[in-house]
Structure 1
Amino acid sequence: MKKLLLCFAVALFGLTSINAQNFGLKAGADFASMKLKADGDNVSTSETGFYIGAFVEVEVSDSFIFQPEVLYVSVEELDQIAIPLLAKFPVSEEFNILAGPALGVLLDTEPGAKSFNFGLEAGIGYDITENFLLEARYNMGLANLLEDAPSGYSIKLSGFFVGLGYRF
């Protein structure tokens, strides 16, 4: 599954780079949380980590840009390859809104844990200059990462991302 998802990411970037308006790199902080639900109890933990990756902006119209990304996300001992597939809507010359699904592959999972993750992502962006950008996004994890989880048991990952990017 990991190889299939990584091949999909490489193919996606290969195809979109043909029509790409901009290619860029980004990095920043990830404020991650893990929620465990078991027998009606909820336990949350939070950790801070980092992310680094690449993105492509494909202008579909004046009011819609498709922005796929491939990010390496590292928090404590939990590493993930994240693939947000975002719709970007310019609100003004500098500000934009981002929203879309996000896929992920957890690296080095423990026995009893799933490695495929998915969720929804939404946020805002600010173009500091033509090349530099600032983004803040929230990723709401939807996948239950417990393998063969009994009813009422789940582990879900979410995260708040803040970072800088550079367009070439």
Structure 2
Amino acid sequence: MKKLLLSSALVLSTLSFAQIDFSSTRFGVTAGGNYSRVKNAHNPSGARFAFQGGVLALIPMGGANQFYLQPEVVYYGAGESGKDKDAKGIPGYDAMYANNYISVPVSFKGYFSEAESEFFGLIGPRFNFLIDQKVKDESREIYRTDQLGKAASFNFAIGAGLGYSYKRQLELALKYDFGLSDTYPTLDESKLDPSSTKKKSEQVLSLSLSYIFK
């Protein structure tokens, strides 16, 4: 919660002191793929590949054609898979723990120069609101959503990334979102497994393509 308040305060401070030109805001659409995992949950576990897509705004900051605030509202698939082979008479499993969100990242965006086609960097908080949780072939009773496997309705992450813009319209970005919240706050698989008592944070690597209207 302290991290959430601090990040929110930083965003508000930026909005307060930066020269923001809302009248020159441009809008766009974005879509891409997510590679996600959840640390310390559903062991042994693997990645989930999912979709993200939505809308964005590009708001100028300062007089130069270089720095922007970029809020987005996107459908955002995350979660992880769980896979294990048969071993010593114990049947294996092939499960999917899908968490789907309405996600609101608010990124500070800086182009490396004022050139029309240029690389850029992104950094900022991401606020995820759970809209759907689907579990397929859960491996253990404790993983069931009606037991202890219910995902948190809200989680928070810090994202950073790099991308390339073609004529400030077509943009490709690679981004990593580092989860700071506990995705499964009630899940405690086993006192014999030290990792099961740790925070189960969602980590997402994404590749997206955006088109920004003039």
Asked if residue 161 in structure 1 is aligned to residue 206 in structure 2, the reply is yes
Q: Which residue of 2 aligns with 1:64?
A: 67
Asked if residue 52 in structure 1 is aligned to residue 53 in structure 2, the reply is yes
Contact 2:178 2:204 in 1 (8 A): yes
Q: Which residue of 2 aligns with 1:96?
A: 120
Query: How far, CA to CA, are the matches of 2:124 and 2:160 in structure 1?
Result: 7
Q: Give the CA deviation at 1:18.
A: 4.9
Q: Which residue of 1 aligns with 2:185?
A: 147
Contact 2:130 2:153 in 1 (8 A): yes
Q: Give the CA deviation at 1:108.
A: 2.8
Q: Which residue of 1 aligns with 2:130?
A: 106
Contact 1:36 1:43 in 2 (8 A): no
Taking the TM superposition and a 5 Å limit, the aligned residue runs for 1:13-24 are 18-24=22-28
Query: How far, CA to CA, are the matches of 1:49 and 1:126 in structure 2?
Result: 22
Query: How far, CA to CA, are the matches of 2:50 and 2:175 in structure 1?
Result: 15
Q: When the two structures are aligned, how many residues end up with a matched partner?
A: 150
Taking the TM superposition and a 5 Å limit, the aligned residue runs for 1:107-146 are 107-109=131-133, 110-111=145-146, 112-146=150-184
SS at match of 2:201: strand
Q: Give the CA deviation at 1:37.
A: 5.6
Q: Give the CA deviation at 1:154.
A: 2.5
Query: How far, CA to CA, are the matches of 1:20 and 1:161 in structure 2?
Result: 28
Identity %: 29
SS at match of 1:155: coil
Contact 1:20 1:56 in 2 (8 A): no
Query: How far, CA to CA, are the matches of 2:181 and 2:173 in structure 1?
Result: 24
Q: Whose Rg is larger?
A: 2
How well do the aligned residues superpose, as a CA RMSD in angstroms? 2.5
Compare the two structures and name the one with the higher strand fraction: 1
Query: How far, CA to CA, are the matches of 1:20 and 1:43 in structure 2?
Result: 49
Q: Structure 1, residues 7-62: CA drift from partner, whole Å, max 9, x if none?
A: xxxxxxxxx99534310001011111111269xxx754211111101110110122
Query: How far, CA to CA, are the matches of 2:168 and 2:67 in structure 1?
Result: 18
| Aligned amino acid, residue 163 of structure 1 | S
TM-score (norm 2): 0.62
| Aligned amino acid, residue 168 of structure 2 | E
| Aligned amino acid, residue 200 of structure 2 | I
TM-score (norm 1): 0.78
Query: How far, CA to CA, are the matches of 1:45 and 1:156 in structure 2?
Result: 14
Q: Which runs of 4+ in 1 moved over 4 A?
A: 148-151
Query: How far, CA to CA, are the matches of 2:132 and 2:103 in structure 1?
Result: 14
Query: How far, CA to CA, are the matches of 1:122 and 1:140 in structure 2?
Result: 8
| Aligned amino acid, residue 71 of structure 1 | V
Q: Which residue of 1 aligns with 2:142?
A: none
